[in-house]
Structures are given as structure tokens and as C-alpha cells.
A and B are shown apart, each in its own frame.
Chain A
Amino acid sequence: MRRFFAPILAAIFLCVTAGVAAAIDVKAAVLRIDYQTLLPISRYDQKPDDLGFAGAVLADEDNATTGAFLGHTYETVMVAVPPEEADAAMDQLLGEGIRLFVVLARADDLLRLTDKAAEAGALVFNAQAPDIALRDDQCRANLLHIAPSRAMNADAVAQFAVWKKWTDWFLVSGSNPNDVALAEAYRRAAQKFGAVITEDLTFEDTGGSRRTDSGHVMVQRQLPLFTQEAADHDVVIAADETDYFGKFLTYHLWTPRPVMGSGGLRPVAMHGAHEAYGATQFQTRFDRSAGRYVRPEDYNVWLALRVVNEAVTRANTAEPDGVRDYALSDAFDLAAFKGQKVTFRDWNGQLRQPILLYDGSVTASVSPQEGFLHQSSLLDTLGLDRPESSCTAFN
């Protein structure tokens, strides 16, 4: 088990606000499970050692600055473990009295840890797992989702495609379970927003052909052939969560078409070049603190701990139930550098948020797109809406 300790900022501010609120010392933990995976296609996408944790370090700094005016302190413990040590790590953190967790793990591990946390009355924020089931029949009352779901990401892409009038889609999916799940989200999104999948193919993951052994030489032969017979389409949608071919598609198609999804224009919660809505300030703070550009996981962890900070600051509670109740209440809103307030869906604990469409260099667009209407919140056009979710844990 590796432990990372966030620097605890000394309270340097004179606190002169009338001392109505009692001092609160907020202790939270970020628990990250490190899985054995193949390297990503691009070296730029390799995971830094402090993935997610860097968001916690910045959140502790931000929260401590605010807390100093109110007599609150913030400390976040950061733990990275292999899957087989995750339960023991959670036990230990619970034993230390921590009841607020941000977890970076796959869905099955996340659920098991969440249920363990529930027995101790602890609250968990999901900062990574995109599985729709976690927001549907597998939801948990003590699990709030900061990370967008596959459905939200697919809907964000679908809205942009439809806004562009690219309604004939060639869906290319990977063959691994997460790729299949993502492809299903795109099929659902196509139906939801009126696109038609004119061709639906699976590009088998046969191993090999990765970048280190001249991956581009192989895909330059394979992908044009693979895409040669596709029916007419406006756009190629890639469903490759595994990350073994999606990013190669753009320049290796038989018919030149824009690519979206897992290659080309990608839906992300945040990226290091996003500057709109005042985000430059967040980026410069993050870069300076972490010494690198922000990843979505870092942003998700930062946002989770900012939710805790809001509850402490405005509802004067760091108790798991208190934080959860405040986060789900009408009083809660949070600025998240996405141009509008983010709030939680009270039917499944998912954070409502705009999704950035990122081309690897800039924010090309932000969904929801103009013209997609909703009776209560435009953000609810992304992902599982109230009538679509079978989650009952929040009733």
C-alpha cells in the first residue's frame, strides 16, 4: 500500500467572522485501485502515479483557504492499492475513523467497497466508473457519482452529431466487455436523438499491433480494409474504451469521415486545455500544484472534495449523511468551470454536468447542444433521466 499525504496548509488567515459555527476538522480519503492493464495507444495517455491524487491535493489547498476563514481544516489521505488489497485498505481507513471516500475503481470493486462503507455509515464518491448500471438498478444510497456515465458521454456526442446533421452513423466497436457496453450506450443515444446506425461493426482485439511494435504500420493496412464495405455514413463513432484502435481511426478510414467517441472528438469531464468559463484559473492552479496537466480523474476527485467543502461551509456538517443530504438538496449548487452550476440528480446520485467535446487539443464544443430541450434541466438530456432510471435507493 502506498500512501500519499496532502500538505496541510497552515491557517494563515485571521478569522474574524463572528464565531457562530463550530470548528470542523474534515478528514477524507481517496482510494484508488491500480489494475494491470496494457499501455494506452498514445504515450501522452499513460497514467501518472498521482492520477486522481493531484486533484485531492489541489482540493485540500482550495478548501483550506476557504476553511481558514471559518475555522475548518481539511485533510485527505490518499491510498493506491492493487485490487486484492482494496478491501483491507478500506477497512483500515474506516478504522481510522474516515467516513468520506472518493473511489477510483471499476464497477464491481466500487460496489463492494461502497457496501462495506455503508455498513460503517460512510459516503462514497465515484470518480471513475462510467457503468450505467451503477446509476440504474445497481445504484446505492451512499454512492454519489461525480464521473459521467457512458450514457452521458454517448448522449453528449450524439447531440453534437445531430446538431451537425450527421445523423447516419458508422459504429465501430471494440470487442472487450467495456467496449461492448459503450457501443450499447451509443446505440441507445442514436435512438434517443434520431440518428441512424447504418453500419455496426466490431473490430476484434486480437492483441499485438500496439504502438511499440510499429502499431501504425499494421493499422494502416488493417483499418482501411475493415472499413471498406461500410454503408454510407456521415460520421464514424468509435466505441473503444479499452483504447486499442479508436485513436487510429481518424486517418485510416476507407471513406474520409469525421470520427467521434473514443477517437477524434472525445467526450470528457475535463482536459488540460479547457479555458472557457474561467477554467484558466483552475488550470494554472492545478499545473502549478501537480506539475502536469489535469486529467478527468483529477478533476473528478477535486470536484468530489469541493462538494464536501460546500456542505461543510454552507450546511456546517462533515457527517456522511449531512453531506449527502445537502448535496442532494435544492440548496446545493457548485461552480465547476463548465459555464453553469452543477447539481446532483436526486433519483440516482449522478452529478448533472456539461460534457466537453475535446479533439486532443481544444474544447471543440460543449454538450448539451442548443435545441435539445428538457422540462426541468437541459443537463438532464444527458444520461439517465428520472423516468429512465430504475434506481430506488434514493426514494
Chain B
Amino acid sequence: MKSLFLSAAVIALFSGPAMAGKAFVSNERGNTISVVNTETWEVEHEFFAGNRPRGITVSPDGTKIYVCASDDNLVRVFDSSTYEELPSLPSGPDPELFVIEPSGKRLYIANEDDNLVTVTDTETRTVLAEVPVGVEPEGMGISPDAKWVVNTSETTNMAHFISTEDYTIKHNILVDQRPRYAQYTADGSRLFVTSEIGGTVTVMDIDADGAPTVVGKISFEVAGVQPEWLQPVGAKVTSDGTRLFVALGPANRVAVVDAQSLEVLDYILVGQRVWQLDFTPDEKYLLTTNGNSNDITVIDVAQEAAIRSVQVGQQPWGVVTVE
């Protein structure tokens, strides 16, 4: 999502000679980050990123890469050009996924082991608040106006709507088993929550005041694939709100969904155990992390087809792109 908001800002910032974009891939088991050139699709660099790096995001100005180093119980920070490590951020125990607000000031971090969402100030590097949520918080989404952070709890099976004004939960929506990811549309009018074990995506319409209403549920079906392997995890929606892409985990496919009618249009075969997704800033490509085949798949968004795969480190988990 961040890249959708970023593109304009980043383009404005870099007025010099055109630079090749980069994708940063966190390798959960390899404890590294692979840096992939998004024009040549070559791995340019790989560097140590802490123990069990999972969630990964970028500062709005594109200069800092934030990584949830789950087994180090902190967020590690790296310079996106030099890959030098910068001072870490406190995260609370076992950070898995997080979301950064469009201003870049606050990080909202899910602490899987402690039923908490930790709010960290990226400038002062202090914890601003801890919000108690359901059991095993995981997915984190933020509304485009930054007024709401949505956390999904994997064992409680709810989407918790946290107000960023007072850090309290205002709405709880029950969803299907093991919700993994929450994704708003760019205009903030719709929210998608994936449920890994339930095998569905819950679709909510969001009022002007941020209140959610469940309006539908997306299910998946692939001939020749056992229904229990269709496990929705990562999800991204195009900035025009027309297409939703859903990573289906051990089904090794990304579903292409009409984000308005909620009809599943196609399934794109990718690598094994596809986990998280990110668009390149120009939204020309969608990158998928494939945990069991140790690669990423590059999907051409307009063609809705996989065009190549790139070998990265061990057990790629998350991906973020930078202009």
C-alpha cells in the first residue's frame, strides 16, 4: 500500500537522473534482505537483517527500510542506498507485521506473542502506546487518511479498528479463521481482510466516519487443488481500486479479483507458498514472495500474468519496493 502513496512523493523528490527501482525482500530463514533491481531483475545485494526478518516496509521518502526482526524483538532500520544499519526502533516482543503511516512518523506494530499493537515514534525511537488486541495479532492496515489502523488477530479471528487519535479500539469485526492481512483501497472506502485457514477474504465498506460494514466474502476454487490449500495471506489492491490480488499460500497461486464485483477472475501460478505481495511504485509489476521455493515471482499487472521468477535468500517472507 505504502508504495501507492509514495510514488508521487518519491518521483517529486528524485529529480536527478533516472534510477533503477529496487525491491527489498526479507528472508525469514536466511536472516537477510535481498535487494533486487526491478529493471534487470537481478539480485544486486544481500545483507544481514537480524534474526527472523519478516514484515518489511519503507519510509515515505524512500530512504529507510524498516524490518521486523521477530527473534530480536525489535525493528531494524537500514539505509536503502548504502544498506548500512541505522539505530533500531523498539517494537515490543516478537514483531511480525507493521504498517507505517503516510507521514512516516508512526509505526504500528503487531506483537504476536503479547496480544498487543505497539505504536512506535520513528523519530524519537520511543513507544507511544500499547494497544491490547485479540490473541495473536498479525495483519496491519492503515486507512489512507491515517485515522484508523486495522489489526487482525489470528486466534480471536477479528479485525480490530484502532483510532490513531486516542489508540483505542472502536470497532471489532469477526472474520473467518486466522486472519492474516488487512488492506484498504486507496480511497479508503473499502477494506479487505484475508483469512488463511478460513480460506476467504472478508470485504468491508468503510463509512465516512471510518465505521466498517461487512458487504461480502470472497472464496476461491482451483480445479485440481484441494480446497484446504487455498489459504489467502498477503493482498494488494490497485490504486484505481479495480483489481485485488490475493496470495494463496500453499496453493502456489495469486488470485486476481475484480475489487468491485468481488468476482475471482483468474489464478496466476507463482512459486511455492506464496506469502506477501507488493507493487512496484509505478504499479506495472506485482512481486510475490515464495517462501518454499526461495524466489519471488514478477507479475505483469496489466497482463495479469507471471513473467519471471528471481531467486532470493532462504524463505522469502515480505517485500517492499522503492523507486
Q: Are B177 and A333 in contact (CB under 8 A)?
A: yes
* Residue A314 CB within 8 A of the other chain: yes
Given A14-B168, A281-B112, A313-B174; A69-B197 close (CB under 8 Å):
no
The 8 A CB mask of B171-198 against A (1 = contact, 0 = none) is 1101011100000000000000000111
> When chains A and B are docked, how far (Å) is the Cα of A16 from the Cα of B172?
8
Find chain A residues with CB under 8 A from B198 CB.
333, 335, 341
> When chains A and B are docked, how far (Å) is the Cα of A69 from the Cα of B112?
18
* Residue B169 CB within 8 A of the other chain: yes
Q: Are B158 and A66 in contact (CB under 8 A)?
A: yes
Chain B contributes a number of interface residues (CB within 8 A of A) equal to 32
Given A65-B115, A65-B135; A335-B228 close (CB under 8 Å):
no
Partner of A281, one of B113, B156, B170, B171: B113
Q: Are A69 and B158 in contact (CB under 8 A)?
A: yes
* Residue A386 CB within 8 A of the other chain: no
Q: Are B197 and A335 in contact (CB under 8 A)?
A: yes
Q: Are B197 and A14 in contact (CB under 8 A)?
A: no
* Residue B136 CB within 8 A of the other chain: yes
> When chains A and B are docked, how far (Å) is the Cα of A314 from the Cα of B198?
13
Instruction: For residue B212, give the distance in angstroms from its CB to the closest CB of chain A.
Output: 11
Residues 315 to 352 of chain A near chain B (Cβ within 8 Å) = 333-335, 339-341
Find chain B residues with CB under 8 A from A288 CB.
113
Chain A contributes a number of interface residues (CB within 8 A of B) equal to 26
State the majority secondary structure of interface residues on A.
loop
Given A281-B113, A340-B197; A13-B169 close (CB under 8 Å):
yes
Instruction: For residue A313, give the distance in angstroms from its CB to the closest CB of chain B.
Output: 7
Q: Are B197 and A62 in contact (CB under 8 A)?
A: no
Q: Are B156 and A69 in contact (CB under 8 A)?
A: yes
* Residue B278 CB within 8 A of the other chain: no
> When chains A and B are docked, how far (Å) is the Cα of A333 from the Cα of B178?
11
State the majority secondary structure of interface residues on B.
loop
Q: Are B177 and A341 in contact (CB under 8 A)?
A: yes
* Residue A278 CB within 8 A of the other chain: yes
Residues 41 to 86 of chain A near chain B (Cβ within 8 Å) = 62, 65-66, 69-70
* Residue B226 CB within 8 A of the other chain: yes
* Residue A22 CB within 8 A of the other chain: no
Q: Which of B136, B154, B156 has the most CB of A within 10 A?
A: B156
Given A16-B169, A17-B172, A281-B113; A335-B178 close (CB under 8 Å):
yes
The 8 A CB mask of B214-243 against A (1 = contact, 0 = none) is 000000000000101100000000000000
* Residue B21 CB within 8 A of the other chain: no
Find chain A residues with CB under 8 A from B229 CB.
340
* Residue A12 CB within 8 A of the other chain: yes
> When chains A and B are docked, how far (Å) is the Cα of A220 from the Cα of B182?
58
> When chains A and B are docked, how far (Å) is the Cα of A313 from the Cα of B161?
18
The 8 A CB mask of B120-150 against A (1 = contact, 0 = none) is 0000000000001011100000000000000
Find chain A residues with CB under 8 A from B154 CB.
278, 281, 335
Instruction: For residue A128, give the distance in angstroms from its CB to the closest CB of chain B.
Output: 24
Find chain A residues with CB under 8 A from B94 CB.
281, 284
The 8 A CB mask of A8-50 against B (1 = contact, 0 = none) is 0000111111000000000000000000000000000000000
Partner of B156, one of A66, A285, A340, A378: A66
> When chains A and B are docked, how far (Å) is the Cα of A65 from the Cα of B170?
16
The 8 A CB mask of A286-306 against B (1 = contact, 0 = none) is 001000000000000000000
Q: Are A69 and B170 in contact (CB under 8 A)?
A: no
Q: Are B172 and A340 in contact (CB under 8 A)?
A: no
Q: Are A69 and B177 in contact (CB under 8 A)?
A: no
Find chain A residues with CB under 8 A from B153 CB.
66
Instruction: For residue A160, give the distance in angstroms from its CB to the closest CB of chain B.
Output: 18
Partner of A378, one of B112, B199, B226: B226
Instruction: For residue A252, give the distance in angstroms from its CB to the closest CB of chain B.
Output: 36
Closest to B196 in A: A335
Q: Are B113 and A66 in contact (CB under 8 A)?
A: no
Closest to B71 in A: A280
Find chain B residues with CB under 8 A from A15 CB.
172
Q: Are A65 and B156 in contact (CB under 8 A)?
A: yes
Given A14-B169, A16-B169, A16-B171; A340-B112 close (CB under 8 Å):
no
Residues 351 to 377 of chain A near chain B (Cβ within 8 Å) = 377
Q: Are B177 and A334 in contact (CB under 8 A)?
A: yes
Find chain B residues with CB under 8 A from A333 CB.
176-177, 197-198
> When chains A and B are docked, how far (Å) is the Cα of A12 from the Cα of B115?
12
Given A13-B169, A62-B135, A65-B134; A314-B112 close (CB under 8 Å):
no
Find chain B residues with CB under 8 A from A65 CB.
115, 134-135, 156
Find chain A residues with CB under 8 A from B177 CB.
333-335, 341
Instruction: For residue A379, give the distance in angstroms from its CB to the closest CB of chain B.
Output: 8
> When chains A and B are docked, how far (Å) is the Cα of A14 from the Cα of B94?
24
Find chain B residues with CB under 8 A from A313 CB.
157, 174
Closest to A373 in B: B226
> When chains A and B are docked, how far (Å) is the Cα of A253 from the Cα of B131?
57
Find chain A residues with CB under 8 A from B113 CB.
281, 284-285, 288
Find chain B residues with CB under 8 A from A335 CB.
154-155, 177-178, 196-198
> When chains A and B are docked, how far (Å) is the Cα of A352 from the Cα of B157?
21
Instruction: For residue A286, give the distance in angstroms from its CB to the closest CB of chain B.
Output: 11
Closest to A18 in B: B171
Find chain B residues with CB under 8 A from A17 CB.
171-172
Known: A278-B178, A281-B113, A335-B178. 4 other contacts (CB 8 A): A70-B172, A333-B198, A341-B177, A378-B228
* 23 CB-based A-B contacts, threshold 8 Å: A13-B132, A16-B170, A16-B172, A65-B156, A66-B153, A66-B158, A69-B156, A69-B160, A69-B172, A278-B154, A278-B178, A281-B112, A284-B113, A313-B157, A314-B174, A333-B198, A335-B155, A335-B178, A335-B198, A339-B250, A340-B228, A341-B198, A378-B228
- A-side interface residues toward B, CB under 8 Å? 12-17, 62, 65-66, 69-70, 278, 281, 284-285, 288, 313-314, 333-335, 339-341, 377-378
Top 4 closest pairs, chain A to chain B, by CB: A340-B228, A335-B197, A66-B156, A335-B178
